[in-house]
Amino acid sequence: MVDTGEEVQRSGEPSEVVAEAPVEETVELGNLEDLRQKRESINDDAEKSKKLRDDLNKQTREWIARRDELNAQVRELVGEAGKHRKLRDEYNLKVKESKVERDECNKVVANITEQYRDMKKDHPAPDKSQPSIRQLRKEFSDLENKQQIQVLKKKEEEALVKRLKELDAIIKEREKLEDISEDLKGKSLELKEAKTLAEKAHKSVAEYAEKAQSEHDQMILLYEQADSLRKQADEAQAKFVESKKAADKEHKKLVGLIKDCRKAEKRFTDVKDKQKGVRRRKSDAESKKTADSIFARFKSGDKLSTEDLMALQKSGYL
């Protein structure tokens, strides 16, 4: 067994040890349970704030996607409307060209119509009660044959010759009228052709005007659809800004809560460490008191147990 007395003497300890009373430490620890609850409450608020912020960020992304999708549709509709506008302008140009052509054709028709009317005034309508030129030519031929074949009396001969002269004059006049009639027919045909061209040009004007109107209507419809979608895109943009502001505000709140959470955690840890320190110092004081008592017993000659020796060793007596 180790001679603890000699060891004590060599260590310079006094021959008589008086145990000091432990000093009572007063520390403002607060209520640890309250701090724990406060920390958990702040943690809960931070989790809720984080979830709300993430939800708002998700909404923000959704509004951005919606806005971009609508704007893409607007661009597509405006592009389609532009194509119809281009076709409308092309058809309107054709309408103008066809109108010029139609007006020229109408001028031609008016001019030929005036010529035809003038010619018609100089060409009286044939008297249907009078024999035709074919009948007159037949009568003239029959009289010539009669003059050549038959032997006629003087008066009969004179009457036949007179009639032949009359028929010849009538036939020549009728032939002249027939020539005029042929010219009139030609002018009538020319007028008919001119009217056909004018009607064709007028029809082209109507067709191109109808096509231009159709393209215009489709263009207007597409622009109206684009305007409607543009309004929706503007609303999505407003929602995006609103959601972004709310998300930023919630993020700032979350940052503050995280700081508060760290402070609460630090406060909780500090208090917990202080409480551990107090308990440790209290335990050390109690251990020292016990060791002083054991050492006093040792000096009195009491036999020490192994546990007593370990207590003395732990307290620095050995």
Q: What is the pLDDT of residues 296-312, one digit of tens each?
A: 776 776 676 777 667 66
251: its two tokens: 């993020």
Specify the pLDDT at position 15. Answer: 34
pLDDT digits (tens, 9 = 90+) for 190-241: 888 989 999 999 999 999 999 999 999 999 999 999 999 999 999 999 999 9
Share of the chain above pLDDT 90, in %: 39
Specify the pLDDT at position 32. Answer: 78
Averaged pLDDT for residues 256-274: 84
Residue 271 near residue 29, CB atoms below 8 Å: yes
- Cα(107)–Cα(109) distance, integer angstroms: 5
- Cα(168)–Cα(163) distance, integer angstroms: 8
- Cα(281)–Cα(24) distance, integer angstroms: 10
Specify the pLDDT at position 186. Answer: 79
- Cα(234)–Cα(197) distance, integer angstroms: 54
Return the DSSP state at 23: P
Phi, psi dihedral angles at 300 (to 5 degrees): -80, -5
pTM, entire model:
0.53
